[in-house]
Amino acid sequence: MIGILSFVGFTAMVGIISYYATRSTNEKTSDGYFLGGRSLTAGVIAGSLLLTNLSTEQIVGLNGSAYRDGLSVMAWETLAAITMVITALFLLPRYLKGGLTTVPQFLEKRFDVPTKTITSALFLTGYVVVLLPVILYSGSVAISGMFDFPTLLGVSESAAITICIWGIGIIGSIYAVFGGLKAVAVSDSINAVGLLIGGFLIPFFGLMAIGDGSALNGLETLMATNPERFDSTGESWQEVPFITIFTGMMLVQLFYWGTNQQIIQRALGAKNLQEGQKGLLLAAFVKILGPIILVLPGMIAYHYFEGGLSSSNLAYPELVRAVLPKYLVGFFAAVLFGAILSSFNSVLNSSVTLFGIDIYKQHINPDAPERTVVKYGKIFGIFLALAAMFVAPIIENAGSIFQYLQEVNGIYSIPILTIIVVGYLTRRVPAIAAKIAIFMGSGLYIVSQFIIGPNRVEAALAKASESGITGEIALRQIEADAYPHYLHIMALLFVLNVILMLVIGKIWPNKEPFKLEYTNQVEITPYKYVKQVGMAIVAIVVLIYIYFAQ
């Protein structure tokens, strides 16, 4: 009962603070609703970026990966810091100079309206079919398990998860649809503090549990017992082989932190370029510490449970149940609930933005006043949330949620990244090149990863079974050798798409070169130490890899 009361109290506090912090914002204009009135400061941007990224599909999924593979999966966290530096230096100044509300708006200016519409449709499809349902499902599994809702409510496990899905979906929709970006960002910042505190408590108590009351002794025991699991360079059969860091991994990270509307919208709402860059750099520094929350608990769980869990995805929730004092369960559940809400309402708010600006205003009612655009954006958001709530229970049989997300998102992430990078780095590549790159990139990736790849792997595993080969590592090695890693495929398709666009641009160049106009929406004087701070962040990441390399 104490846990439930503390959960309700902390959650209510966040809602009340968010309401009072945003009640003076004019939500009836596009800038006010979609970008928080272009008033976000560095701290708010950093907190919102971190909590939007951090949710149960990462907390549970990435710790599950660490339970299975060890420290090498930290690449998903540490390399994010480098791509945030690239975004701060290269992409954000161009976004703010162009006065963008959505990333696809640039594609309209650089190429044409159909290119923008296709890109917005790809984003929305990925959000409603994959990202929103996965966030709802994984979050509901965590919350239902933490409070043991099946027993508490006297219902089946599936029914309890469905109840949680709808509860999270409705509350998240209220934040995102009726509060706009500023409500999302403010609630994110509050929850970010709680999540960092709670996130650090889990490995602390976990290390104490295996160190006879001493966290330092626990860390020494953990490193001495399984030193090979502290290798930063992954093997070819693991989730993140070391070579992928130099191929598709950086591209996936750059897409996510630099071009994904769900994430970059926080920086687009900056009051000026300095605040936006400082927010990204601050988030990058904190992101370097991400493995303590998202990797270390999984490694502790492997030692604590002696690698005996039935599923790697159980590593985090089982560790929490085993080591967290009962009086902190309610607080941690509230913080975790905030992380779930943050990811859900952030994606939903970005979806509303994409629909309102890039589809409704562009194609349905071009003469609509801003109040009407916001109104129909909210209506679309409600339908989108309902669709996600209906789809979410189907995710139950998706397998490894974290890797599933990364692989499926490749359908649209690399094509979109390609046309944005080529769009900014060239001046005469035509719109037809962008359209061909989108459809070819998506089509080839689908054929590769969902037709050719599975068939090759299935055949290799069948042959191994006939030969009597057993053992998890042996089978994973056979699977890895059967077909190239999906991150390598992404890198190959990125290079092919870039070459294709440049060749088309050489043969059929635009008559007039593209010029990025300054819209004077916000001040774009850069943060004077952005390069120095960025170099420091990159150096820290490199040193971490060198230190843990075996």
What's the token pair of residue 93? Answer: 């100044």
What pLDDT score does 246 carry?
Answer: 92
Query: Helices marked H in 467-529 — which ranges?
Result: 472-482, 486-507
SS3 state at 526: coil
Specify which residues 241 forms β-bridges with.
Answer: 234
How many whole angstroms from its chain centre is CA 15?
A: 23
Q: Which of 14-18, 22-26, 52-56, 311-315 has the lowest mean pLDDT?
A: 22-26
DSSP-assigned letters across all residues of 176-226: HHHHHHHHHHHHHHHHHHHHHHHHHHHHHHHHHHHTTT-HHHHHHHHHHH-
What's the token pair of residue 165? Answer: 């899905």
What's the token pair of residue 526? Answer: 């850069």
Give the dihedral sign, CA 287/244/125/258.
positive
* pLDDT tens digits, one per residue of 76-131: 999 999 999 999 999 999 998 988 877 888 888 899 999 988 988 888 888 777 88
**Banded pLDDT at 369 (limits 50, 70, 90):** confident
Q: Are 46 and 282 within 8 A, CB to CB?
A: yes
DSSP-assigned letters across all residues of 46-112: HHHHHHHH-SHHHHHHHHHHHHHH-GGGGHHHHHHHHHHHHIIIIIHHHHHHTT-SSHHHHHHHHT-
> For residues 128 and 383, what is the distance between their CA atoms, to the nearest angstrom?
10
- Please choose, from the candidates 56, 49, 3, 52, the residue with its C-alpha nearest in 3D space to the C-alpha of residue 332: 3
Phi, psi of 232 (to 5 degrees): -75, -10
Q: Which CATH architecture has domain 2-548?
A: Up-down Bundle (1.20)
Q: Are 277 and 530 within 8 A, CB to CB?
A: yes
Reply yes or no on whether the pLDDT at 494 is more than 80: yes
What's the token pair of residue 134? Answer: 């996965």
**Banded pLDDT at 230 (limits 50, 70, 90):** very high
> For residues 321 and 332, what is the distance between their CA atoms, to the nearest angstrom?
11
> For residues 448 and 444, what is the distance between their CA atoms, to the nearest angstrom?
6
* pLDDT tens digits, one per residue of 45-54: 888 788 777 7
**Banded pLDDT at 175 (limits 50, 70, 90):** low
* pLDDT tens digits, one per residue of 392-451: 887 766 556 677 778 888 888 999 999 999 999 999 999 999 999 999 999 999 999 999
How many whole angstroms from its chain centre is CA 518?
A: 30
User: Which residue's entry shows tokens 């996510």?
Assistant: 256
* pLDDT tens digits, one per residue of 63-73: 988 999 999 99
Phi, psi of 521 (to 5 degrees): -70, -45
SS3 state at 228: helix
Reply yes or no on whether the pLDDT at 36 is more than 50: no
Q: Are 15 and 339 within 8 A, CB to CB?
A: no
Q: Are 265 and 181 within 8 A, CB to CB?
A: yes
- Please choose, from the candidates 90, 62, 92, 96, the residue with its C-alpha nearest in 3D space to the C-alpha of residue 77: 62
What's the token pair of residue 404? Answer: 């599933």
